[in-house]
Structure 1
Amino acid sequence: MPWVPQHEDDFPTLGWTVADQMATYLGRPDAGDDDIFDPFILTVEQQEFLNELYRLDPRTGRRLIHRGSLIRPRGWGKSPFVGGIMISEAIFDVVPDGWDADGQPVAKPWSKVRTPYVAIAAVTEEQTKNTWEPLLEMLRQGSAVDEFNLDPMDSFVALERGRIVPITSSPNSIKGFKAVAASLDQTETWVKGNGGVKLAQTLRNNATKLGGVTIETPNAYTLGERSVAEASFEFWADIRSGKYTNLEDVRSIYFDHRPAPPDTRIDDMDSLVHGLRIAYGDSSGHPDGCLLHDPPCEPGWFDVHRGALDFFDTANDPAVMRADFLNQIDAARDAYVSDPEIRACIDTTKVVGPREPVTLGFDGSEGRKDKHIADTTVLIGYSVTQRHFFRIGIWEQPDGPRGEGWRPPKVEIEQAVAKAFRDYNVVGYYADPSAGWAGEVKQWEASHHKRLKAKMSVQEPIRWRQKDVTRTCETFDQLYSAIRQVEVTFDGDPTLIQHFLNARRDPRRAGYVLKKADDNQDYGKIDATYGCMFAFAAGTDALGKGVTANTTRRMPRQLR
């Protein structure tokens, strides 16, 4: 019979079954008295993650999620939780096996399908201990060893069929080891230089071949380091942006990241405690429990007040503290903006009307050169009165074979510019004429110069003066100041936001311009930052020309 929902918003999952098996056979690590069995019981949010991880397709009964990412702060409890999931993949009922007489999912262990090998992976032996040591403790304190005939040795766990093994990025440790499940710990440190990128790819490929699952457990990563955690976050952002709407399989990733609010102040105790409670969720030790659920959960194990005090210790690096405890994605030292700064400016509720003054910013690309990925072409709008940036058009080189020989669609882009002038009260438009767009800029100047209040010059009202580095430096600095003080807002377009997070400061005598990260020239695009800067400069000039909220739109004269 088909699946039968039990309540509104119900979905089929093996999460409840797996949690019951954990509580029955596994002991809680660091339980204290060895003579008393203390079962491993999940918190509410851990159960929610498990239910999503083991979500099933109600039509076919197959598992939907093949890849998970759980980003939580230090001390939240990621390691024992994921250790429990890896034990479950090794011995418990996790392979879907249809529906029972009540229309509820049933399952069988991997050993009924193939030999289960499970990997506890990290880039160093010391890192593997984060998950490996609590995993052994959970087995040794519970009844799973006797019930499933296991031998939990220090170097591996022998199953009746298969084994659980800690592995590192050493080629010898992963060669031929095809795991049905793998935990990838601290992937914010997995980079190309230490073999982490290759290790992650190998584990995912093996899981794909076998129909298995991989789970990342990073702490908040540093932007621009090109870690495995950062690449996973970007993949998730692409999915949310609708980039893969025609590919159902890419939705098989479950991404769970809950940072402290962007406006959390680390110099204010109340704000800091609130931010820590949000980031730590059920694990936050507070008399009222976790306020993320109604009713509140039981008090957890992390003392948020004690954790907050460490932020005031001047010996601690604030950026590291934000990443480790507030779960906020950190910026590289030369980053233009931080993740909390730019996300604090996102406002998806603003609507730009046809009469309010708007400026445009354009940065173009000439397309793919040799084997390098082409720069992005962007057209950004900026409401002068609302101080609000919004995407009009972003044109990027497609992935894969479709990107071979790619050139930006100039006709489509020219139509987008013309439509922007029809739809909005455009009072200024600054554009970079380089990269093959000089002719188009000249044409835009000829067509629209009479409407523009803000002009670079009388002769060339749209063309941005590339040699005026001082103006570029000053404008980027003014824009950053506005972002830091939340004096401007963004529509939340994920590509636009990512370009800001990719941008690095490149010092000049007059200040700084923006550049790509030195080790990420192909994929760390920043073109939208220049589009926003041009639009912002035009908006500033428009205000200087007296453009106000009462400016009325001059409609094009109609031919009779």
Structure 2
Amino acid sequence: MPWRGADPGEPFPYPSLGWNLLEWWAEFLPSPRDHAEPLIFTDEQARILVEWYALDPNTGRYLYRRGVSRRSKGWGKSPVEAVKAIAALAGEVVFDGWDASGEPVGRPRGLRGGDPNPWVQIAAVSEDQTKNTYSVLHELLTANDARAADELRIDVGLTRCFLRDRPGKLEPVTAEAGSREGQPITDAVLDETHLWTSRNGGIKLARTLRRNVAKMNGRTFETTNSFAPGEMSVAEATHKAIERGAPGIYCDAVEAPEVKQDDSDAALHAALAVAYGDSWWVDLERLVADIRDPDQPWEDSQRFFFNWNVDDRKKAVQSKRWTALKRDPAPELPAGTRIGLGFDGSISQDCTALIGCAMVDDVPYVFEIEVWSRPEGAGRDWRIPRKEVQARVAETFEFYDVGLMFCDPPKWQTEIEGWAEEFGEERVVFFDTNQPQRMAPACGRMLTALEEEGAFSHDGAADLTEQVLAMHKRKVRIRDDDDDGRTKYVFVKGPDAEKIDAGIGAVLALEAFAAMPAVEQDQPFFGAWR
């Protein structure tokens, strides 16, 4: 028989396999907070699960092909995704018709001819992040002398799980997207997608996982904290897709109402209570205390506790400071002056910049050699004049004594390889500005030079000035064996998306100047002014 239909005033006007799964989880899995108790979700979590497993009443197909939960830190995203992953491996998640009462019934994957065998992946951009969900999953299956694993016939390992009596597996994976292409996975958890960017392979991994589950009629679900707008993360892209009304995407996101940093503790507590909903295990008074901690940036509290998508980009260089460091008049550098070079290339939309750095009066002096920009009113087919750029680089090497040239490689790899062959591989070096481990120290060096008296100067060129002042700094998380405890930043475009290529060229020029060997000494030239 067909679905029974919704009763008047019923809060869930659609059929859902979630109702049966709530009972299934309570039967087999323990509470993560007390293994002697069954797994019972809060009303808020139960509602989300019922909605996620909602079915079309006519076809029995899932209403949502992918979903996202953007919640405050500590709300409980990982336990929810852990139990969903267990259900995807061994639970009744495939629609199998209607019972005598008109309610939907399900069956596990792989039990019928034509059914794909369950293959569940918990994905993140690093191995440590996959442990967020997998460690909870492992704990639930092995608690109480592995009762759940035995009853569900699951072999549980530290790195993956297998079904004992039929094909089926669950595994954590990371951002090696190339090796994931084509895998017939049925479900995937995309964990912490506010951290998934093109720089760490997250964008490619998300697309690969979605393609893989699509061909198996499977589904993906993201978990995320609030994202930093403009960072172009997977979480931000999903948010924009939902705003555009893209069909088939389930969204669970609750933000705290607006409060200010200097509001009362009671106001902060009330706002947090909205964001955390039914999460009774979160001590909101403790969160207020942490928010008040002088070492806790307000921007971090906005994102992680209040669940606001906050742009954490701040101006990298203040106009007043930059103006004070201008040399007027700009010195004329004679032929043969030893310099470092920075090159940041584009094709058509952004600029291409060639920036130099030399020692003038015992201070590093950054100067604009040339910046190529799209002319106003140029057609869509306009491109950066590559031959002109190549000629200008050749002239620069001929006129100056270039000790080192750092080049950002995207779209200009062929030319950079040619320069390295012509002028020496030890002098022309690739410098990928999308790698925080390398770019953050370079940006830090420029910030330090700008802040210290007598450690930096520049020519005040119009394009260089405009694009340096357009740079914003963004905090990054990098592993550094020589970590000095200071916050690390990279320079990015601001919310207005103004061009910063000459500014990045200046960072590379200063870094090349610092790293190049002295003329007669086998040591960095940087030591002459530090």
TM-score by length of 1: 0.55
Find the aligned partners of 1:367 and 1:69 in 2 and give their Cα distance. 41
1:29: Cα distance to partner? 2.2
Deviations 1:506-556 (A, max 9, x none): xxxxxxxx444769xxxxxxxxxxxxxxxxxxxxxxxxxxxxxxxxxxxxx
Q: CA deviation at 1:371?
A: 9.1
SS at match of 1:504: coil
2:494 pairs, out of 492, 496, 504, with 504
1:367 and 1:21 map into 2 onto residues whose CA distance is 63
Instruction: Choose the corresponding residue for 1:23, options 23, 26, 31.
Output: 26
Structure 1 residues 46, 516: closer, same or farther in 2, change over 3 A? farther
TM-aligned CA deviation for residue 206 of structure 1: 1.0
Rate the CA distance shift 1:153–1:316 in 2: closer, same or farther, 3 A: same
> Aligned in 2, Cα 1:371/1:140: closer, same or farther, shift over 3 Å?
farther
Letter in 1 for 2:3: W
Aligned counterpart, 2:268: 272
CA shift in 2, pair 1:518/1:75, >3 Å: farther
Of the three residues 228, 231, 237, the one matched with 1:225 is 231
Secondary structure of 1:119's partner? strand
CA contact (8 A) 2:299 2:312 kept: no
Q: 1:110 is paired with a residue of what secondary structure?
A: coil
CA contact (8 A) 2:259 2:268 kept: no
**Cα offset for 1:140?**
1.3
Choose which of 109, 118, 121 in structure 1 pairs with 2:120: 118
Uncovered stretches (5+) of structure 2, i.e. residues with no partner? 316-375, 384-491, 502-530
For residue 327 of structure 1, the aligned residue among 302, 307, 314 is: 307
User: Displacement of 1:199 after TM fit?
Assistant: 0.5
Query: Where do residues 159-308 of structure 1 align in structure 2 (5 Å cutoff)?
Result: 159=163, 160-171=166-177, 174-239=180-245, 250-263=246-259, 265=261, 267-283=263-279, 300-308=280-288
Alignment of 1:120-159 (within 5 A): 120-141=122-143, 143-159=147-163
Kindly indicate whether residue 297 of structure 2 is the aligned counterpart of residue 317 of structure 1.
yes
SS at the partner of 1:111?
coil
Shift of 1:177: 3.1
Deviation >6 Å, runs of 4+: 365-368
Q: Deviations over 1:468-498 (max 9, x none)?
A: xxxxxxxxxxxxxxxxxxxxxxxxxxxxxxx
Pick closer, same or farther for the CA change 1:5–1:324 going to 2, 3 Å.
same
TM-score normalised over the length of structure 2: 0.58
Amino acid at match of 1:273: H
Change (3 A) 1:129 1:45: same
Separation in 2, partners of 1:2, 1:77: 35
Deviation at 1:161, TM superposition (A): 1.6
Deviation at 1:100, TM superposition (A): 1.1
- CA-to-partner distance for each residue in 1:163-200, whole Å, 9 max, x for gaps? 00000002476254332111111100000010000010
Amino acid at match of 2:71: R
Contact 2:182/2:212 (CA < 8 Å) preserved in 1?
no
Identity %: 38
Residue 266 of structure 1: how far off its partner (Å): 5.4
Gaps (5+ residues) in structure 1?
240-249, 284-299, 336-364, 373-501, 506-513, 520-560
Secondary structure in 2 matching 1:302: coil
Please report how far the alpha carbon of residue 221 of structure 1 lies from its aligned counterpart in structure 2 after TM superposition.
0.6
Equivalent residue runs for 1:407-556 within 5 Å: 504=494, 514-516=496-498
Instruction: Check 1:308–1:317 CA distance in 2 against 1; reply closer, same or farther (3 A cut).
Output: same
Distance 1:198 1:23, change over 3 A: same
> RMSD of the TM alignment (CA)?
2.5
Report the Cα distance in structure 2 between the residues aligned to 1:236 and 1:518, rounded to whole angstroms. Answer: 30
1:11 is aligned to 14
Aligned to 2:103: 104
Q: Using a 3 Å threshold, how does the CA distance of structure 1 residues 192 and 143 change in structure 2: closer, same or farther?
A: same
Separation (CA, whole Å) in 2 of partners of 1:111 and 1:96: 12
Aligned residues: 324
Question: Secondary structure of the equivalent of 2:235?
Answer: helix
* Partner AA of 1:135 in structure 2: L
Alpha-carbon offset, residue 319 of structure 1: 0.4
Aligned equivalent of 2:91: 92
CA distances 1:34-81 after superposition (whole Å, capped 9, x unpaired): xx6321111111111111111111111111111010001111110011
| Offset at residue 331 of structure 1 (A) | 0.6
